[in-house]
Amino acid sequence: MSDSEEPHFESKADAGASKTYPMQAGAIRKGGYIVIKNRPCKVVEVSTSKTGKHGHAKCHFVAIDIFNGKKLEDIVPSSHNCDVPHVDRTEYQLIDISEDGFVSLLTDNGNTKDDLKLPTEEPILTQLKDGFAEGKDLAVTVMSAMGEEQINALKDVGPR
């Protein structure tokens, strides 16, 4: 490689914050989070099996995807590491619901967040639309993990 040639790197990385962190499988408990089949999940059941003379104890995880509600299972040796997603819950104030199915939210620092779609779950979708139509002041809780975001709860903060 000559001195005049600059190396060119394809940059596909973000700010360097990892979407997951490793945790020993034996340390993951019911109610915690785990990544199964590349999906962030909440653990609903953990069972540990002791194996024979030279085997590893294995952990059997039953978990529910936090975004689509699907049930996933995984069996991992308890001494091995599993990926655990960084899960964040943030509360925003609802400003507007657009015709194309997106919501406009007010952040804590006064900016607006307009890139979130309406939730697809039926009870929360009707509560959100009805409450907004009635002119209620609504606060929505947005759960984010592994680059995905979704509205998963709402509460009435009083009339406008």
Reported as a single tens digit per residue, the pLDDT across 90-133 is 999 988 888 888 889 988 888 888 888 888 778 888 888 888 88
As a whole number, mean pLDDT of residues 75-103 equals 90
Residue 1 in this model has a pLDDT that exceeds 70: no
Q: What confidence category does residue 158 fall into, taking pLDDT thresholds of 50, 70 and 90? A: low
How does residue 154 score in pLDDT terms, banded at 50, 70 and 90?
Answer: confident
Phi/psi for 18 (5° steps) reads -75, 145
Q: What are the two backbone dihedrals, phi and then psi, of residue 150, each rounded to the nearest 5 degrees?
A: -155, 145
- Sheet containing 39-49, strands listed edge to edge, beginning at the edge strand earlier in sequence: 33-36, 39-49, 58-65, 71-77
Compute the average pLDDT of residues 78-83: 92
Confidence (pLDDT) at 13: 45
Whether 3 has a pLDDT exceeding 60, the answer reads no
- Write down the mean pLDDT value for the chain: 85
**Predicted TM-score (pTM) of this structure:** 0.78
The arithmetic mean of pLDDT across residues 79-91, rounded, is 92
Instruction: Supply φ then ψ for residue 126, to 5 degrees.
Output: -70, -40
Lowest model confidence (mean pLDDT) among 13-17, 31-35, 135-139: 13-17
The two beta strands, 39-49 and 33-36, are antiparallel
CA dist 32 and 23 (Å) reads 11
